[in-house]
Amino acid sequence: MSVAAEVEAKMIPVYIMGKRYEVPETLTIMKAMEYAGYQFIRGAGCRGGVCGACSTVFRKEGDYKIYSGLACQTVVEPGMHLTQLPFYPALRAVYEYASLEAEAEKIWELYPELFRCVACNACTKICPMDVEVLDYISALKRGDIAAAAEISFDCIQCGLCASRCFGEIPQYHIAQLARRIWGGKIKPKAEHLAAMVEDIDAGKYDDMISKLKSMDEEQLKKAYTEREMEPPMADESWKPSNTEGLLG
């Protein structure tokens, strides 16, 4: 945001770690904290709502409820009480993935605390990505790895679920293992991916990559901005007009 835009924006009070600050109402929590003078040495991450490093809990003025969100995505509100959470120290099981059997029993063996779940649903309520955490935990208790992998797909590993769990379960680590087993050991391999690997090994793209490497910065910018892009609302039938390679 430009300085002019900040000046034009209405200033609102927020409380960061209990201290009051006046910040522009248009800022995200992360930008508001930086505006207030905080520096993100850790916990900034991608700033794009993907990595989960900036998980935040907050209360709104006059509201007893605890809300959660990502500091890089959530816009401040007047009277908001903010806190930044460090990475939650949940247990992560150690395993050799290559030799791991694709069975629910192996997940149960690595994470027996899975069965301490009391179905309180606090994990789902705190999730900033609206993942139905209890649903995928319940699926794994039933042995349904596929369902757990699908339900937990949007998990960004922020750890907020574990911070609220009465059973002290590292839900996000368990979900990651389920997705790894499903994607790498159960789900059928993608035929188009195997074909692409064969093309790469055969050197199909070597000349194109060499051409890209020889470009200067302005040429790379031009190639990037003029490339054919998939439309935002394209369906699965969309195909690029030129499928020969990186440069069209």
Residue 1: band (very low, low, confident or very high) from pLDDT cuts 50, 70, 90: low
Model confidence at 246, in pLDDT bands (50, 70, 90)?
low
* Most confident region among 68-72, 232-236, 240-244 by mean pLDDT: 68-72
pTM of the model: 0.73
Written as six digits, the tokens of 198 are: 């064969």
* Domains annotated on the chain, with CATH: 8-84 (3.10.20.30), 97-186 (1.10.1060.10)
The H helix count followed by the E strand count for the chain is 11, 5
Alpha-carbon distance values, 90 to 49, 55, 56 (Å): 21, 15, 17
Mean predicted lDDT score pLDDT of the chain: 89
The angle formed by the CA atoms of residues 113, 84 and 69, to the nearest 5 degrees, is 75
Backbone φ and ψ of 27, nearest 5°: -85, 155
Read off the pLDDT of residues 117-153 as tens digits, 9 standing for 90 and up. Answer: 999 999 999 999 999 999 999 999 999 999 999 999 9
Q: What tokens does 93 get?
A: 């099981």
- Residue 17: is its pLDDT beyond 70? yes
